[in-house]
Amino acid sequence: MRDKLVRYFSALSSLSEAEATAIRDSAVVREYPKGTVLLREGQFSTDTYFVLDGLVRQYSLLDGTERTTGFFGADQWVLSLNDETEPRPSLHTWVCDEDSILVVGNEELAREMFNEHPRLETVARLVLERTFSAYQQAMAAHLLATPEQRYLRLLEKRPDLLQRVQQYHLASYIGVTPESLSRIRKRISRREAG
């Protein structure tokens, strides 16, 4: 499993054998059962996660109701971009929606590795840029789309989620009730059949 993380970093930048070994040896891999809460809304985020296997859902509470704002699967980062000089409590909760295997990292572990292998700090910056760019693109597409367009985007980009995620979480993610999601699906099915 640790080799999966090394392959991820290697795809961004070629690694020396020493750098690859440092990543492999320092990776803290943990298994979390379905339902494990990694971070609660209002807590301070200190850890980041790389999903090796499983699924992590991000949600916030709005008037006491969960509003799903993201799903993170294999080869995706679960992280909060936080200002180290002025940390703020999390605006969301992360929960494992499936049994999950995650690499757990934090600033302290990263600094130790950067001290020993300074070039890895540049590689880590590439990871942040890539993650932030993907997040920005997804948010812009989500905000500018209708619920039906959001559902169609899931069908195109992440069809696995339709089988893996509870329907009410999918409905929450696209911004509708489960009943409205059902109507959207029927409309799409009728169009495809016609």
> Which CATH number covers residue 121?
2.60.120.10
Residue 67 bridge partners (DSSP): 60
Pairing of strands 28-32, 56-62: unpaired
The torsion angles phi and psi of 49, rounded to 5 degrees, stand at: -135, 145
pLDDT digits (tens, 9 = 90+) for 155-172: 999 999 999 999 999 999
Residue 132 lies in a domain: yes
Range of the domain at 118: 2-144
Longest CA span, the chain = 62
Mean pLDDT of 30-52: 94
Residue 89 lies in a domain: yes
- H or E segment at 56? strand 56-62
Residue 153 lies in a domain: no
Residue 107 lies in a domain: yes
Rg (CA), the chain: 18
Total tally of structural domains belonging to the chain: 1
Pairing of strands 65-72, 37-39: unpaired
Residue 52 lies in a domain: yes
Q: What is the pLDDT of residue 82?
A: 62
**pLDDT bracket for residue 88 (50, 70, 90):** confident
Q: What is the pLDDT of residue 192?
A: 84
Instruction: For residue 37, give both structure tokens.
Output: 């809460």
Instruction: For residue 194, give both structure tokens.
Output: 């016609």
Whether the per-residue pLDDT at 83 is higher than 60: the answer is no
Around Cβ 57, how many Cβ atoms within 10 Å?
24
Percent of the chain with pLDDT over 70: 97
Residue 6 lies in a domain: yes
Q: How far is it, in rounded angstroms, from Cα 5 to Cα 1? A: 7
User: Which among 10-19, 42-51, 54-63, 121-130 has the top mean pLDDT?
Assistant: 54-63
Residue 102 lies in a domain: yes
Residue 124 lies in a domain: yes
